[in-house]
C-alpha cells in the first residue's frame, strides 16, 4: 500500500519528518518560488489559485500523480491527528484505510445552516449556482445537496485521504461543477483576496455531499495545528488582557479592527474552538449589561478561560431550549451561574437568527 499525503503550502514551513508527507506549493504560477515542488507543472490550474485556493493543488494531484495507491491532502500547519493528538503516521493510515473508504476531518457543527453562514460571508450566488449545476449535471446528488445545504454541518480544510481511484472520481465531479459555475457567475466583482477564494470554501461542503451520496465509510479525525495561527493567538491574548482590565470599549474596538482586517478569523470552520465567537458574545453582552445595569459580566468574572467556559455552557443550554428539550436552571435562574437576564436574552438573540 503506497500512500502519499501532499502538504499544501504557500509559505516556508517545518515539514513533518515522515517522508509520506510531501510539500506542494499551491499557486506557484502566481507567486515566488519557495523551493518546493509546485502545482504549476503538467496539466494544472495553478494560475487560478485566487479563486480555487488549495484546490489548485488537488487538481494537480488528480492530473499528475499516478504512482500511488492512496493519496491525500493536508496543510502546512493543519494535519489529521490520532486520538492521542499526534500526527497520523503511515502505519496508522494503512490500518485506517483497511477499515474505511475515506479519512477526513470531524464535521464542524454550525450555529446556522450552511447556506446562511456562507451567504453571510461570501457571494451566495456562487453557492446557488453550484446547486443548480449539480441539479443539471449530477441530478443524483441534488437532493443531498438541498438537504445538507440547509443543515448545520460541514467538513473543512479540504483535508482527506482515500484511494487514488476514489480521489480521481471526486475531483472529476468537483471540478466539473466549478468549471460550469465559473462560466455562469461573474467572479471578478471587486472582492478582496480572501473572499475571491470562493471555490475553496464551497468545496469543503461539497465533500460532505459527495461522501453522503457515495455512502462511504468515513473515519472522521481531529485536526491538529503545528502552532496556532499567529493572528488567532495574538487576538485571543489581547482580548484576554482587555477582559482582565474590564475594558469593554477597548475590547470591542480591537476586535472589530482585527475582524475587518482578517474576516477569515470568524469563519466557523476556521474558528474551530469557537472561542472567538464566544469573545464576540462576551463583548456584546458586557456592553448591553453596562447600558442596563451600569455593570457587566466583566465586573463579576474577567478571566478569559472562565468566561469561555461560562458562555459555552450558556449557549448549550440555549440550544437545548431552542430544540424544545426544556430549559434548565442556567436559563431559568441565571443569577446562580453568574449571568443576568440580559445575558440570557442576548444568547437567545444569537440563536434566533437561525433560519
Cell of 72: 491525500
**Mean of the per-residue pLDDT values of the chain:** 90
Helix (H) or strand (E) holding 109: strand 108-109
| pLDDT (0 to 100) of residue 265 | 67
Q: What is the pLDDT of residues 48-76, one digit of tens each?
A: 999 999 999 999 999 999 999 999 999 98
Pick from 75-84, 217-226, 229-238: least confident: 229-238
Q: Give CA–CA dist 3/248, Å, rounded.
A: 51
* pLDDT reading at 270 higher than 90: no
Angle at which helices 124-137 and 164-184 cross, to 10°: 120
Judge if 246 and 282 occupy the same domain: yes
Judge if 123 and 255 occupy the same domain: no
Decide the pairing of beta strands 3-9 and 70-75. parallel
Residue range 11-15: mean pLDDT, rounded:
86
| pLDDT (0 to 100) of residue 269 | 46
Q: Domain boundary residue among 204, 225, 246?
A: 225
Judge if 184 and 266 occupy the same domain: no
Beta-bridge mates of residue 79: 224
Beta-bridge mates of residue 6: 22, 73
Residue indicated by cell numbers 491527528: 81
Judge if 65 and 212 occupy the same domain: yes
Judge if 189 and 140 occupy the same domain: yes
Judge if 241 and 217 occupy the same domain: no
Judge if 214 and 284 occupy the same domain: no
pTM: 0.70
Q: What is the pLDDT of residues 109-159, one digit of tens each?
A: 998 899 999 998 888 999 999 999 999 999 999 999 999 999 999 999 999
Judge if 7 and 68 occupy the same domain: yes
Question: Percentage of the chain with pLDDT > 70?
Answer: 92
Which residue range forms the structural domain that includes residue 267?
Answer: 230-351
Q: Domain boundary residue among 174, 207, 225?
A: 225
Q: Give CA–CA dist 159/54, Å, rounded.
A: 10
* pLDDT reading at 326 higher than 80: no
pLDDT level of residue 192 (50, 70, 90 thresholds): low
Judge if 220 and 292 occupy the same domain: no
Alpha-carbon separation of residue 312 from 58, 168, 331 (angstroms)? 36, 40, 13
The answer to whether the CB of 157 falls within 8 A of the CB of 164 is no
The count of structural domains within the chain is 2
Cα dihedral 197/199/202/208 (nearest 10): -130
Which residue spans within 125-184 are E strands per DSSP? 153-154, 160-163
Residue range 327-346: mean pLDDT, rounded:
88
Judge if 221 and 236 occupy the same domain: no
Judge if 219 and 244 occupy the same domain: no
Amino acid at each position: 500500500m503506497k500512500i502519499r499525503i501532499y502538504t499544501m503550502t504557500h509559505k516556508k514551513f517545518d515539514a513533518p519528518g515522515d517522508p509520506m508527507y510531501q510539500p506542494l506549493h499551491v499557486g506557484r504560477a502566481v507567486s515566488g518560488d519557495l523551493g518546493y515542488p509546485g502545482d504549476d507543472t503538467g496539466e494544472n490550474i495553478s494560475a487560478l489559485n485566487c479563486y480555487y485556493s488549495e484546490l489548485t493543488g488537488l487538481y494537480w494531484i488528480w492530473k499528475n500523480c499516478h504512482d500511488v495507491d492512496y493519496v491525500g491532502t493536508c496543510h502546512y500547519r493543519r494535519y489529521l491527528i490520532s486520538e492521542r493528538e499526534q500526527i497520523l503516521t503511515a502505519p496508522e493510515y494503512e490500518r485506517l484505510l483497511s477499515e474505511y473508504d475515506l479519512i477526513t476531518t470531524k464535521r464542524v457543527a454550525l450555529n446556522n445552516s450552511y447556506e446562511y453562514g456562507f451567504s453571510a460571508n461570501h457571494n451566495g450566488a456562487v453557492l446557488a449556482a453550484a446547486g443548480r449545476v449539480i441539479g443539471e449535471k449530477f441530478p443524483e446528488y441534488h437532493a443531498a445537496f438541498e438537504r445538507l445545504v440547509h443543515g448545520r454541518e460541514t467538513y473543512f480544510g479540504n483535508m482527506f485521504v482515500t484511494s487514488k481511484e476514489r480521489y480521481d472520481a471526486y475531483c472529476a465531479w468537483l471540478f466539473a461543477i466549478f468549471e460550469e459555475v465559473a462560466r455562469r457567475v461573474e467572479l471578478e466583482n471587486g472582492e478582496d483576496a480572501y473572499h475571491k477564494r470562493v471555490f475553496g470554501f464551497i468545496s469543503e461542503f461539497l465533500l460532505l455531499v459527495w461522501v453522503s451520496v457515495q455512502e462511504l465509510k468515513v473515519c472522521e479525525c481531529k485536526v491538529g495545528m503545528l502552532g496556532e495561527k499567529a493572528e488567532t493567538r495574538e487576538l485571543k491574548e489581547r482580548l484576554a488582557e482587555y477582559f482582565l482590565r474590564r475594558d469593554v470599549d477597548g475590547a470591542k474596538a480591537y476586535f472589530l479592527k482585527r475582524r475587518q482586517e482578517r474576516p477569515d478569523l470568524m469563519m466557523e470552520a476556521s474558528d474551530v474552538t469557537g472561542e472567538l465567537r464566544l469573545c464576540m458574545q462576551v463583548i456584546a453582552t458586557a456592553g448591553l449589561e453596562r447600558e442596563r445595569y451600569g455593570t457587566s459580566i466583566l465586573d463579576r468574572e474577567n478571566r478569559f478561560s472562565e468566561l469561555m467556559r461560562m458562555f459555552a455552557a450558556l449557549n448549550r443550554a440555549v440550544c437545548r431550549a431552542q430544540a424544545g428539550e426544556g430549559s434548565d436552571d442556567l436559563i431559568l435562574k441565571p443569577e446562580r451561574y453568574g449571568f443576568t437576564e440580559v445575558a440570557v436574552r442576548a444568547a437567545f438573540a444569537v440563536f434566533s437568527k437561525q433560519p
